[in-house]
Amino acid sequence: MRQHDTLFIGGEWVTPAGTGTIDVISPHTEEVVGRVPDGTTADVDRAVAAARVAFDLGPWPRLTFAERAEAIARLAEIYTERQAELAELITEEMGSPITFSNLAQAPQPLGMLQFYAEYGKTFAQEEQRPGLFGPTTVRREPVGVVAAVVPWNVPQFVTMTKVAPALLAGCAIVLKPAPETPLDAYLLAEMAQEAGIPRGVLNVVPAGREVSEYLVAHPGVDKVAFTGSTAAGRRIAAICGEQLKRVSLELGGKSAAIILDDADLASNMGMLAIASLMNNGQACVAQTRILASRNRYDEVVDAVAAMVTSQPVGDPADPATGIGPLVAKRQQDRVEGYIRIGIDEGAKVVVGGLDRPYERGWYVAPTVFAGVTNNMRIAREEIFGPVLTVIPYEDEADAIHIANDSDYGLAGTVWTADADHGMDVARQVRTGTYGVNCFMLEANVPFGGYKASGIGRELGPEGLNGYLEYKTISRLG
């Protein structure tokens, strides 16, 4: 078992203020695989104070972008060496299939570090612009102390969407990992310490909801960067709005995959499996609404059902596993509750349902619903599990209307033999990220959503902008 008795605050491993602990439980075995301190408000006070000293008095925000980029590059080198360890750790703590952990959970955060390390080499802190009355300097300065509050589903991916640009900007960070997945944050702290990131620039305090809210509302925090549920995002936005505190929110999704009539189902189903079932369906970008024309509806339902049943369900540490367990018992109950809702709403279970694949572990049978209309709860609410709904449409305009008829706007895809036409469809769907015959995320382009899927963008140059304040300096003489 991985036991941690300390918190990472001010560049040191310190004894927590309280005696409470958080057990990390394997979703596969239901056994405790790790234990960390349960942070208190006193621990948050200490971490914010350390971050304030690092930001207000320390060298980090006063370095050039190129100098900070060098430090990020050192962290990336260490991260590279520990990628496999990190992937295995995330699989152990939250049940992500090891193939997905090796494909995305560890490599994509590394890609973010590498992008910002390279981008920072030539990023200019000041820009000269001509003005009506003389030259003007536009200066970019770090926003200050950042509270990074991250979820459990892709813990390092989401952590790095915040930590990497915040580091390059010159901010100091208090990272609050989810109680389900704190172990990877400890590994990151070890790597940051080894890379020589100055004391107090990165602090790690695992904690539950009440302490998280205390961190969000802390007067020493200048910006909150949050990824999680839309309900929690609304609460955080309210707190930050009241304090006029900077905030970025990456929230939920209910993404639609539009399958056009010319799509080659046989060649597309492998990629659609990744887009819709990645991470056991526990992904905000998962394509869980499959839109099929009435002309090919039954054919698409059969193809999606065959795709889902082809994914082996089992031990997430087994490379052969396609779908593993859900992160917690409450998540298992939640997803099974939505399956019951779908049945009650009159949708037809094509595969899956309420029979669990295993008695032990928080497994749910991967499920496909047919006969779904877009006003059903299973088509409108984020389930966050391996449950897909196949919804019929009349024509392409109707498909685009259904895709846009959602409270969310995070992701989406279109599947077609004509990629150029797919681009035309992509331009009409109101989401922040979109794929034509694929779905992928890149470190050098913005990621975020429309509507209830959040506020702001992460990744790429736009992701750095969220951690900068812009100052205008005019001069005469």
Question: In Å, how far are 321, 390, 412 from 287, measured between CA atoms?
Answer: 20, 11, 6
Strand-strand pairing, 454-455 and 246-250: antiparallel
Question: In Å, how far are 50, 70, 228 from 54, measured between CA atoms?
Answer: 6, 18, 28
Contact 163, 113 (CB under 8 A): no
**Residues in Cβ contact with 323 at an 8 Å cutoff, skipping those fewer than 6 apart:** 97, 277, 280, 281, 311, 312, 313, 366, 386
Cβ atoms < 10 Å from Cβ of 48 = 24
Q: Which residue has the tokens 């020589």?
A: 196
Contact 255, 429 (CB under 8 A): no
Residue 11 Ramachandran class (φ > 0 left, ψ -120 to 50 alpha, else beta):
left
Burial of 320 (0-12, 13-18, 19+ CB in 10 A): exposed
Can 141 be counted among the known catalytic residues? no
DSSP H or E segment with residue 392: strand 387-393
Q: Which amino acid is at 97?
A: P
Can 70 be counted among the known catalytic residues? no
> Which of 314, 275, 227, 254 minimizes the C-alpha distance to 413?
275
The rounded distance, in Å, linking the Cα atoms of 254 and 382 is 6
Among the residues of 4-122, which ranges form H helices? 41-56, 65-81, 83-94, 98-100, 107-119
At 414 the three-state DSSP class reads strand
At 285 the three-state DSSP class reads coil
The rounded distance, in Å, linking the Cα atoms of 369 and 304 is 10
Burial of 472 (0-12, 13-18, 19+ CB in 10 A): exposed
> Which of 232, 191, 11, 213 minimizes the C-alpha distance to 106?
191
Buried b (16+ CB within 10 A) or exposed e, 420-446: eebeebbeebbbbbbbbbebebebeeb
92, 93, 180, 250: which is the annotated catalytic residue? 250
Cβ atoms < 10 Å from Cβ of 4 = 22
92, 284, 336, 458: which is the annotated catalytic residue? 284
Catalytic residue numbers read: 250, 284
